[in-house]
Every structure is written in structure tokens, then in C-alpha cells.
A and B are shown apart, each in its own frame.
Chain A
């Protein structure tokens, strides 16, 4: 524990800005992964333990498309689109067979997919770390805000994540499709009885969740190193985010993700070895005092 260092950092503007922005980008990546996770849980009542794998595959896909074409935008779009397709295949081929089954069966299938994909990544890309590096457009000197160092790419990442998340929240709130999705989360049998194709809807939800994780992976590729196990760690953290924010709540996921990102970046200064412990303590406190999360609906 190094509370003096933490205090020093919080009271100097340069350190405060640097740590806050790095906390924010972690939070934004977490938010995009967790938003998909929470959406899938909200509608299908499935905990997608393979969601971190979507993120990992998205990052590798973005990396490959970027090195092949030189266009980072194309890489991120390919990651999103590719993972949307992967999400549908995964839902139709595997998950749809265990709807209504015990959570352990779902866990088992997801874990099998995680194991298979991790090894496929090792076979295709190798087990080594990859560093993609910044796309050429962002290889510029960093901005200095109040003495803190902020790479311009961080700002892009934060804006893009907010736009995607905001768009998702807005489309769920006001569009007809969004209403159908929310209705299906509430009562799928009734939605189905009203003549809406819930099978298609479920695939669509998985496509959206997959695309979100894929985008997150694509956005993470320049700032994170790519390894076959990178899906695991983000999975656990996005679970914490969904639980704290409330399973099924997009807004809750955003707030919880930002808080968690900040805990992570300031925690590495104050308690370098116990940052994760702090997150688990937060998770336990929330679960025990309000199991539905900060912004979730009460569990019936």
C-alpha cells in the first residue's frame, strides 16, 4: 500500500489527468464488452461466458485487416461485423440448444468455445504477444492537458465508445425494435404470441452483443497487447461491471465501467497488488446489499 503516492497523484493535475484518461479508456472498453453481456442477459437470460472471446477475436481480426489493408477504420469495422456474424453462428449453432437448461450447461458450452478459440488463435496467429501500435493517423505527439499526457487516440476511443453506447441506449429507448427487445426481456412468450419472430430477435441480440465486443476488441488493439488469453481477464471484469451496474442495465454498465476503470488506474498507484481485490470487495458489497445491482430492476 502506498497511500502517499496516491495522495500525491490526486493532488497534482498532471498525474490526475494522465491517470483519469487511462482509467477512462479501460472503462470504455469494459463498458462496450459489458453492454453486450448485459444486453444478452437481459433478453435471453443467458450468461455468455464466451463474451471475452468475442473481444479477443475482434482484436485479432482488426489487427489482421489493418496489417493487410493499412486502414484502421476498415479493421475496426471488420472486427465489429465479423463478431456480429460469429455471435449469430454461436447462438444458432450452440447456445440455442441449451435455452432453459441449467446455467452450468451454458457455462460448459461457453467454456468449450473459449478453449477452442484460444487454441485456434494460437494456431493461426501464434502464442506470442502482438503489439499493433498506433494507426498512422494517430502517430502524432500527445496532447498536454493541464500538464497530463493524453494521446489523441485515447480521446477517439472514448468518443467512439460513448457514441456507440449512446446509440445503443437510444435505439433501445425510442425505436420500435428497441421496444420489442425490451418487451422480449420482460415477457418473451407474450412477444412471441403477438406474432414477433423471437428466434430472429434472439439472433439479433447476439449479433449486437457480438458487434459491441468486436468493436471493443478493434479499439483495444492499438493500446493493448494481443495474446490468446486476453479474453479471460476482460470477461471477469465485465462480469463485475454488469453485476455492479445491474444485470440488464446499459446505463448501469456505463457508470460501473467508468468507476471500475478509475479504480483500476488509481489503484495501481495506491495499492498495486490489491487493485483486483478492491473490485471484488465492491462486487460483494453490491451483491449482498442490492443483488439486482445499482441500476437493475428488482429480481422477481
Chain B
């Protein structure tokens, strides 16, 4: 219980700090950064539930991030639904999709799991591109998100959206933190380390895998909803395969073995993006060299590296 209270206290403190910050430092760019960071960090952390904690390398997790953006934007644009209902319904749609997709994918292991999840994501991407009448095809869903009101608070204002994003991120991270700290989280790590032994100890492996697949999909689509509000719509790039690539880089850069590694990695990646694109048009060249330095120099993510330096052992990890 003490641990949960401490985590909640930290989360509340950070959100309060972020909420107060603009009165001292009114920077639009900073607020944009936090909103994007909230969306991508939820997505990356949810992917790490699979990669770092369960040992399932999904290359298609962007399916649920993209599904979150499209489902939410469609519900808001095409129906008269209020924001909270669309929010909940989007998560339900993601849950159902994840149960179906997960039931098919978790039968496969290692690189085959990675490929089948990638194929699933790209299949949904193809459907979205070709179903022009509903999704706008490769132009995306334009026209903005109407009725951006949540319990009387208008998310039209950038400041409100910024606080909203911070709260969603904090709640999402707390929930995921709780998930990995329960006995269910222990089962995940056991499956990662030795699936056969886990099965012998009475863990129903497919059920645990499917459950974590669905849970991580829900958090990914939560990130997608924040992104949909930020970009005022939904675009095919948000479900194309480089979006999954971004999340993978974020978690590997930040550290798969630390719970906050994906958040750190997302911040590094977004900062790099903002700083480097301002300096040079050759973003890929700079990013590639930095990735190589991380991968070959540290040989692990930043937070894992720091944890090990301080003499600790990262909680998760890939071996």
C-alpha cells in the first residue's frame, strides 16, 4: 500500500507542477511538447508491457494507437456523441479488436509473433487507406474534433488540453505501474524468463499473454485519443509502421528494464526531433548516429544503464 501511495503522491505532485508551470513560463512549444509526449509515452510504455515485461516483441502495436485516433475521431465527427462517451467507446472498440487480434497472434512466438503483429497493423492500415468514404483515405480524417468539452471544461484551450494530457498520462502510468507490481506482473516476468517453467508452475500462459496483450492495447489507444485531440483528426501516418518503430526506439533508448524507461526514451526522441530538425534537414543522419552510439556504446537503454551504474538491477529486461 505504501508503494501505491508514494507513486500516487509523485504523480499528483508532477501534474500540479505542470499545471502551475505556464503561469511562470508561458511557452506554447513546451505545452505542445508535453501533449505529444503524453500520447507517445503512453503508447511506448504500453508496448513495454509486452516487450520488456512479457518478452513479446510486437512490431504491430501501432495498430491500437492508430485505432484509438481513428475510432475516437470518427465517433466525434460522425456521431453526436459527447466526449466522455466517445472516449469510453473507443477504449471498448480497442479492447474487442485486441481480443480478436491477440487470440490470433499470441499463438506465435519470437520473430513470427513480431511479423504477424506487423502484418495485422499493415492490414488495418490498408483498410483505412482504401476505405476512402469513411476514413478519408490517404488524406486522413480532416475537419477537426467537434464538441471538445469534458465535464464542462473546454479542451479547445491549449492549456486545458495540456493539463488533460498530463492527467491522462499520470493516470495511465499509475495503472500500468500497478499492473506490473501485482502477482499478474510477476507471471508476466516469469513467462518472459522461462515460458515452459511458468506453464509447469500452473500459469495458463495463453491467458496471461492474451490479457496483457489486451491491456497494453487499451493503454496504446488511450495514447491515440490524446494524439487525435492534439492533431484534430486522424491520419494514416498514425497507424503506419514507422509509428511502431518510434515506440520501439523510445523503449530501447530509454530502457526496457525500467518502468519509466519508455517515458525517458520518448522524451529523448521528441527532444532530438525538435532540436535536430531545427538545426539540419538531415534528421535521419543525426538520429541514426545517436541510435548507434546508444546501441553499441551503452548496449542498453539510458535508465537501465543508470540503474546498473547505481548498483541496482533493472526490474524488466530482454536477454
Binding site for B on A (CB under 8 A): 47, 94, 97-98, 102-105, 107-109, 111-116, 118-120, 122-123, 236, 239-240, 243, 247, 271, 273-274, 276-277, 280-281, 283-284, 287-288, 291, 299
Contacts and interface: CB of A to CB of B under 8 A. Distances in A.
Interface in B286-317: 287-289, 291-292, 294-296, 299
Contacts of B127: 274, 277
B8 to A, nearest CB: 31
Q: Is the interface of B mostly helix, strand, loop or mixed?
A: helix
B183 interface: no
Nearest to B253: A108
**A-B CB proximity, top 5 nearest:** A277-B126, A273-B130, A115-B284, A115-B288, A116-B288
B82 to A, nearest CB: 34
A68 B78 CA distance: 57
Interface residues of B, number: 43
A274 B130 contact: yes
Interface string B54-67: 00010000000000
Most chain B beta-carbon contacts within 10 A, residue among A236, A271, A276, A284: A284
B291 A108 contact: yes
Interface of B: 51, 57, 104, 107-108, 110-112, 114-116, 118-120, 122-123, 126-127, 129-130, 132, 137, 241, 245, 248-249, 252, 256, 282-285, 287-289, 291-292, 294-296, 299, 318-319
B116 to A, nearest CB: 4
23 contacts: A98-B295, A102-B57, A103-B57, A103-B111, A104-B252, A109-B295, A111-B245, A112-B287, A112-B288, A115-B288, A119-B283, A122-B282, A271-B130, A274-B126, A277-B123, A280-B119, A280-B126, A283-B115, A283-B119, A284-B119, A287-B112, A287-B115, A288-B104
Would you call the interface of chain A mostly helix, strand, loop, or mixed?
A: helix
Contact of A104 (B122, B241, B288, B318): B318
B157 to A, nearest CB: 37
Nearest to B292: A112
Given A116-B284, A280-B119, A288-B104, A102 B318 contact: yes
B112 A111 contact: no
Given A94-B296, A112-B289, A112-B291, A287 B119 contact: yes
Contacts of A105: 252, 295, 299
Given A109-B291, A284-B104, 13 more contacts: A97-B296, A102-B318, A104-B57, A104-B248, A104-B252, A105-B295, A111-B288, A112-B289, A115-B288, A273-B137, A276-B122, A277-B127, A280-B119
A300 B284 CA distance: 38
Q: Which of B108, B119, B318 has the most CB of A within 10 A?
A: B119
B107 A288 contact: yes
A273 B129 contact: yes
A236 B122 contact: yes
Contacts of A291: 108, 112
A90 B294 CA distance: 17
Contacts of B296: 94, 97, 109
Nearest to A240: B119
